A and B are shown apart, each in its own frame.
Chain A
Amino acid sequence: MDLIVTATSQGLLWGTMALGIFITYRILNLPDMTAEGSFPLGAAVTTQLIINGMDPFLATAVSFVSGMLAGAITGILITKGKVPGLLAGILTMTGLYSINLRIMNRANLSLLGESRVTDIFRSFELPSQFDSIFLGLIIVTVVILLLALFFKTELGQAVIATGDNEKMARAMGITTNRTKILGLMLSNGIIAMSGGLVAQDNGYADISMGIGVIVIGLAAVIIGEVVFGNLSFVNRLICVILGAIIYRLIILLVILLGLNPNDLKLISAILLAICLALPSLRNALQLNFFTRKERMD
């Protein structure tokens, strides 16, 4: 039971991050490495602002904006600089490492004794971890609702079309440079905000907390898809969150089985590799568990 509570609370916060990854990887069709820099950026910004006396909610909101700026830089590199997508993300991520160090002034910044967003639940006297779960649920619900709304607008549909068929999008008069930048900003804004929330949950920001963020995010996206199949847009978003929780469960189980926590990243990578290879494995084995279904909204 404890296991499920822990997996859920962490899965919700990290799942928010995975929603950002979903936007670049699945909607824009553009695997974006910026995430590994924008996640700790959000953590650094939030932590430093809280330490300097800012309200934790406002600080978290500022981290969203900081992530949007990071995404804009990658977007401008890709569209105006014609830098290949992966490389552009790596450039921004590398640059952000120094910026994050400057923001934090050191490699690790503690929030000990500072106020956090989970403080609003203090008066409810919840059992441990339930404050993070409630916070996570609220954040995830709000983010999914806002994303669902945004992607139903003309602009959101234009972003989806850009990722789905760029040539068609341009022929329809969509300024794909702008929609790409917009999508990257949105994605990294969410990822940075999630970084800020995770920092508050952990009680500190760490310069290296971005390492492996992409793999974790992709694992959530892919697990969600493998387990739940082809769905409508909002359900796909929900599945990302469920995927993140399942991923956490698997990781916790692995630790319980007595594996060395130092091997976690390796295990994550192998897990994701298996999930990514699953479709072709399935084809190779001629198994058709999941045939593409018609979408019903």
Chain B
Amino acid sequence: MAVSVLSLQRISKTFQRGTANENPVLRDLSLEVNNGDFITIIGGNGSGKSTLLNSIAGNVLVDSGRIKINEDDVTKIKEERRAGRVGRVFQDPLMGTAPRMTVGENLAIALRRGQKRTFKLGTNTKEQAHFKSLLEPLNLGLENRLNTEMGLLSGGQRQSITLLMATMKRPELLLLDEHTAALDPKTAETVLRLTQQLVEKDHLSTLMITHNMQDALTYGNRMIMMNRGKIVVDVSGEEKSRLTVPDVMSLFQKATAGDQLSNEMLFS
């Protein structure tokens, strides 16, 4: 039995609790993530995928249940204090970087993810040289633009850098929320391949939300499907690698039999 890097024990989250709009988004959800798992997550709009990742990262605090990262109970710990363990990339390429800071400054912030900030110099030439060597293999010409403001880069460039930033200080968990959805297909593929490389290089335990079913099958060793705040399908290894897109669709239909609304959402 492999070690759990992440253990979600019956977590629940309801938004607007106690109002007419009460919205239960996670319902008694449990999940064990093994060390080195690369899990793709699919599910209809509003099924709770983003809320799941937000709960793990701590910018949403769950109403009940327990969250453990590498055996430490982090259920009540704030986002900033979980940041040292968790690397994140969001859907919006503008979200993960500071636009008025330079590429080098952004990377230096990321190198200190989760560390206490002191009066020490924010970065130095040795670090910048290290950043350069990290940017070179991306083949985006970014290695010579360490002094360029982030806001001047394209979405794909920014998202690639965000990915570096989430992983350069090895996270215990990497959380990706549709991080290629806002990119054109070609750039999306480049960023996905970079994701794969970084995950493999450092054996990162990863959760990746995607709306692209083919990507959900191509990448990762395990796939979960969410519906109405619960995990309804969880396949891994051999079983996952044999699946095709039509298989996934029928799996989903079986799991949500009679749930017309969810079907429409997944296939829309």
Classify chain B: how many residues form its interface, as a range: 35 or more
Contact A170 B79 (CB under 8 A): yes
- Main secondary structure, interface of A, reads helix
Contact B108 A157 (CB under 8 A): yes
The contact of A173 among B83, B105, B108, by CB within 8 Å, is B83
Cα distance, A173 to B98, chains bound together (Å): 14
Cα distance, A160 to B102, chains bound together (Å): 11
Q: Which residue of A lies closest to B123 (CB)?
A: A157
- Is residue B130 within 8 Å, beta carbon to beta carbon, of the partner chain? no
Contacts of A174 in B (CB 8 A): 80, 83, 109, 117
- Is residue A297 within 8 Å, beta carbon to beta carbon, of the partner chain? yes
Contacts of B101 in A (CB 8 A): 157, 160-161, 164
- Is residue A263 within 8 Å, beta carbon to beta carbon, of the partner chain? no
The contact of A297 among B79, B114, B122, B147, by CB within 8 Å, is B147
Q: Which residue of B lies closest to A159 (CB)?
A: B117
Contacts of A170 in B (CB 8 A): 59, 79-80, 83
Interface residues of B in 52-83 (CB under 8 A from A): 57, 59, 79-81, 83
Contact A157 B80 (CB under 8 A): no
**0/1 string, A51-87, CB within 8 A of B gives 1:** 0000000000000000000000000000000000000
Contacts of B102 in A (CB 8 A): 295, 297
Cα distance, A158 to B149, chains bound together (Å): 16
Scoring B57, B100, B123 by chain A CB atoms within 10 A of each residue's CB, the highest score goes to B100
With A154-B112, A156-B122, A295-B102 as given contacts, are A173 and B96 in contact (CB-CB < 8 Å)?
Answer: no
Contact B105 A157 (CB under 8 A): yes
Contact B118 A168 (CB under 8 A): no
The contact of B149 among A160, A171, A175, A294, by CB within 8 Å, is A294
Interface residues of A in 141-199 (CB under 8 A from B): 152-158, 160-161, 164-165, 167-176, 179
With A160-B101, A161-B98 as given contacts, are A173 and B84 in contact (CB-CB < 8 Å)?
Answer: yes
Contact B83 A171 (CB under 8 A): yes
Q: Which residue of B lies closest to A292 (CB)?
A: B152
Contact B148 A173 (CB under 8 A): no
- Is residue A296 within 8 Å, beta carbon to beta carbon, of the partner chain? yes
Contacts of B97 in A (CB 8 A): 165, 168
Shortest Cβ distance from B100 into chain A, in angstroms?
5
Contact B98 A168 (CB under 8 A): yes
- Is residue B214 within 8 Å, beta carbon to beta carbon, of the partner chain? no
Shortest Cβ distance from A203 into chain B, in angstroms?
38
Contacts of A176 in B (CB 8 A): 80
Contact B122 A153 (CB under 8 A): yes
Contact B121 A171 (CB under 8 A): no
The contact of B121 among A152, A158, A161, by CB within 8 Å, is A152
- Is residue B267 within 8 Å, beta carbon to beta carbon, of the partner chain? no
Scoring A165, A168, A169 by chain B CB atoms within 10 A of each residue's CB, the highest score goes to A168
The contact of A172 among B113, B121, B147, B152, by CB within 8 Å, is B113
Contact A161 B88 (CB under 8 A): no
Contact B80 A175 (CB under 8 A): yes
With A164-B98, A173-B114 as given contacts, are A294 and B152 in contact (CB-CB < 8 Å)?
Answer: yes
Contact B109 A172 (CB under 8 A): yes
Contacts of B110 in A (CB 8 A): 172
Shortest Cβ distance from B203 into chain A, in angstroms?
22
Contact A154 B80 (CB under 8 A): no
Contact A153 B121 (CB under 8 A): yes
Contact A173 B59 (CB under 8 A): no
Contact B100 A164 (CB under 8 A): yes
With A154-B117, A173-B80, A174-B117 as given contacts, are A167 and B122 in contact (CB-CB < 8 Å)?
Answer: no
Contact A165 B83 (CB under 8 A): no
Contact A295 B149 (CB under 8 A): yes
The contact of B95 among A156, A167, A172, A295, by CB within 8 Å, is A167
Shortest Cβ distance from B116 into chain A, in angstroms?
9
Cα distance, A77 to B81, chains bound together (Å): 22
Contact A165 B99 (CB under 8 A): yes
With A171-B83, A295-B147, A296-B147 as given contacts, are A158 and B96 in contact (CB-CB < 8 Å)?
Answer: no
Contacts of B109 in A (CB 8 A): 157-158, 161, 169, 172, 174
- Is residue B242 within 8 Å, beta carbon to beta carbon, of the partner chain? no
Contact B96 A171 (CB under 8 A): yes
With A154-B117, A154-B120, A164-B101 as given contacts, are A172 and B148 in contact (CB-CB < 8 Å)?
Answer: no
Q: Which residues of B contact A (CB under 8 A)?
A: 57, 59, 79-81, 83-84, 86, 88, 90, 94-102, 105, 108-110, 112-115, 117-123, 147-149, 152, 165
Instruction: Supply 12 A–B pairs (Cβ within 8 Å), ascending by A.
Output: A153-B118, A154-B121, A164-B101, A165-B95, A169-B109, A171-B79, A173-B115, A174-B83, A174-B117, A176-B80, A294-B147, A294-B149
Further contacts, 6 of them, CB under 8 A, given A171-B96, A172-B113, A294-B147: A152-B122, A156-B122, A161-B101, A168-B97, A175-B80, A297-B102
